[in-house]
Amino acid sequence: MQDCKMWIGGAWVDAESERTFTVRNPATGDEIARLPQGGPADADRAVRAARAAFVGWSKTPQAERSRILNQIAALIRAEVDELARIETIEHGMPFESAKKVLTFASHAMEFAAAAARTLRGEVIRAFPNTVTYLEREPVGVCALITPWNVPLFMICAKLSTALAAGNTCVVKPPSISSLIAVRFAELLARSDLPPGVANIVTGPGGSLGDALCSHPMVDLVGMTGSSETGKAIIASSSRTIKRLVLELGGKNPAIVLPDADLDRAAEVLGHHQFFNSGMTCGSPGRYYVHESVHDAFVDRLVARARKVVVGDPSDPATTMGPVVSAEHRASIENHIRSGVDEGARLVLGGERPTAPPLDRGYYVLPTVFTGVTQTMQIAREEIFGPVACVIRFGDGDDVIALANDNVYGLCGSVWTANLAKGLRMGAELRVGSFWVNQHNHLAPEVPWGGIRESGLGKEASIEGLKEFTQMKLVSYELIG
């Protein structure tokens, strides 16, 4: 078992309490690492290190900040096999998928480095003989609380944007996927990043995370996770009034119309449903399929699900590994049971594999429900697993009203050969992002973020970069 330390102020340190916690391999249940169990004292130490480093980093020329971010991106690519191996044994993502996600993380960092060099202010012509303008400046110290579903990618996406804009950061990775964050800190230590600019602390959200969100020296909290955690962060951060960038849950509608290309719809939606064992906030949460094509679409979706190879994520043949923990598997299985109990028809999956060696890990087989109704628990709550929920609708149903009947508002898609109709329907969806004949199609240049209980603000793109800046009004009179 590997023993790890936290990275604070450019030094490797233990938790002040000297307490630790263990991380397990979700494919086997075996313990693989022991990490410091940080608490409020460690949060304070990291925040003070970031505050001390902010003075110098915020004044560092943008070209130099961008150079260092590009250097870190290059280090990620140079170590991508090792990083992917860690994601595989700690998180359960198949090795080749992990490599692709980590390469995408390096691209996100390079984009932030380049985009930051284009940020500019605005001149305001409000008074005679006076120069008035708005300039962008860094917010300050950012607490970045990251999720376990794509752990290092989310660290890189948030950290690069914050650092590129001149902020300093304290990163708190999820307890069950902290080993990859510590390995990433080793890359930061090899880079030219000054001490204290980025700090990585490990420990539970209930104590360490709350201490960061309520700390008076933290100016912004960026977080990806559940809506329930987001609400707790809003409450905790309100004690000291902070900027918030929150990417929360989703129950994303995919509307399949009679003229849709069913083969393409089933292939694309099936990919996003089962990629990363369904643990993706943008995955399809509800399939609204017109009754005239319902059975044909379900046949294709089930066929796509049967192509998924569930197995050891280290095996190159595997396309879907375990879910992240025994607790999360229990949550998914509770949702599956509720679907059956409420009368939905289980047409595929719904169980765990029982043959060795998969009986040791936290596996859930690809699952497809039909006969789902709007009021069922599986139609309303985010499952965050490989579970497709298909809802039939007819000509008399207002499918947009059904799609909007949910507390979330992250993303959605419409599938039709009539582009104009797809765009009109998408315009009525209450979501942060929607696609026609595509789903969850993202790039570093594309902003990401939802509305309602799916979050606050945007990540990625130039818009995401702006979230980590604040506008200052500067005005002076021309005398003489």
Q: Residue 34 CA to chain centroid, in angstroms?
A: 24
Whether residues 199 and 284 fall in one domain: no
More confident residue, 434 or 1: 434
Whether residues 20 and 148 fall in one domain: yes
- Does the residue 360 lie in any domain? yes
Q: Is 144 exposed, middle or buried (0-12, 13-18, 19+ CB in 10 A)?
A: buried
Question: What average pLDDT is seen over the chain?
Answer: 96
Q: Residue 168: which residues within 8 A CB-CB, separation 6 or more?
A: 50, 51, 53, 54, 57, 58, 140, 141, 142, 196, 197, 198
- Does the residue 157 lie in any domain? yes
Whether residues 116 and 185 fall in one domain: yes
**Residue 1: which pLDDT band, with cuts at 50, 70 and 90?**
low
- Does the residue 264 lie in any domain? yes
Whether residues 186 and 313 fall in one domain: no
Identify whether the C-beta of residue 165 lies closer than 8 Å to the C-beta of residue 141: no
Q: Is 135 exposed, middle or buried (0-12, 13-18, 19+ CB in 10 A)?
A: middle
- Does the residue 372 lie in any domain? yes
Whether residues 121 and 22 fall in one domain: yes
Distance, in Å, from the CA atom of 349 to the CA atom of 439, rounded to the nearest integer, reads 23
Q: Burial code of 161-193, b = ≥16 C-beta within 10 A, e = fewer?
A: bbbbbbbbbbbbbbbbbbbbbbbbbebbeebeb
Average pLDDT of span 229-242? 94
Per-residue confidence (pLDDT) for residue 238, from 0 to 100:
92
Per-residue confidence (pLDDT) for residue 205, from 0 to 100:
85
Catalytic residue flag (residue 135): no
Q: DSSP assignment of 119-158, as one string?
A: ---EEE--STTEEEEEEEEE--EEEEE--SSSHHHHHHHH
Per-residue confidence (pLDDT) for residue 372, from 0 to 100:
98
Poorest-confidence range of 7-11, 247-251, 352-356? 352-356
**CATH number of the domain within which 396 lies:** 3.40.309.10
Q: Which two tokens stand for residue 107?
A: 């691209």
Give yes or no for residue 416 having a pLDDT over 90.
Answer: yes
H/E run at residue 402 = helix 399-404
Per-residue confidence (pLDDT) for residue 127, from 0 to 100:
87
Q: Which of 281, 411, 453, 459 is catalytic?
A: 281
Q: Residue 84: which residues within 8 A CB-CB, separation 6 or more?
A: 95, 98, 99, 102
pTM of the model: 0.95
**Residue 480: which pLDDT band, with cuts at 50, 70 and 90?**
low
Give yes or no for residue 169 having a pLDDT over 80.
Answer: yes
Per-residue confidence (pLDDT) for residue 327, from 0 to 100:
95
**CATH number of the domain within which 73 lies:** 3.40.605.10
Whether residues 270 and 386 fall in one domain: yes
**Residue 3: which pLDDT band, with cuts at 50, 70 and 90?**
confident
- Does the residue 479 lie in any domain? no
Q: Which of 87, 247, 453, 459 is catalytic?
A: 247
- Residue 234 belongs to what domain range? 2-248+453-474
Average pLDDT of span 16-25? 94
Whether residues 281 and 384 fall in one domain: yes
Whether residues 137 and 6 fall in one domain: yes
Per-residue confidence (pLDDT) for residue 366, from 0 to 100:
97
Residue recorded with tokens 């929150």: 246
Whether residues 382 and 309 fall in one domain: yes
More confident residue, 126 or 434: 434
- Does the residue 480 lie in any domain? no
pLDDT in tens, 252-300: 999 999 999 999 999 999 999 999 999 999 999 999 999 999 999 999 9
Strands across the sheet with 6-8, in order?
A: 11-13, 6-8, 198-200, 168-172, 141-145, 220-224, 243-247, 455-456
Give yes or no for residue 233 having a pLDDT over 90.
Answer: yes
Q: DSSP assignment of 281-321, as one string?
A: TTSEEEEEEETTTHHHHHHHHHHHHHT--BS-TTSTT-SB-
Whether residues 107 and 35 fall in one domain: yes
Catalytic residue flag (residue 281): yes
- Does the residue 61 lie in any domain? yes
Whether residues 189 and 280 fall in one domain: no
Poorest-confidence range of 1-5, 64-68, 330-334, 354-358? 1-5
pLDDT in tens, 110-162: 999 999 999 988 999 988 889 999 999 999 999 999 999 999 999 999 999 99
SS3 assignment, position 265: helix
Whether residues 63 and 189 fall in one domain: yes
Q: Which two tokens stand for residue 117?
A: 């060099």
- Does the residue 337 lie in any domain? yes
More confident residue, 376 or 205: 376
Number of domains in the chain: 2
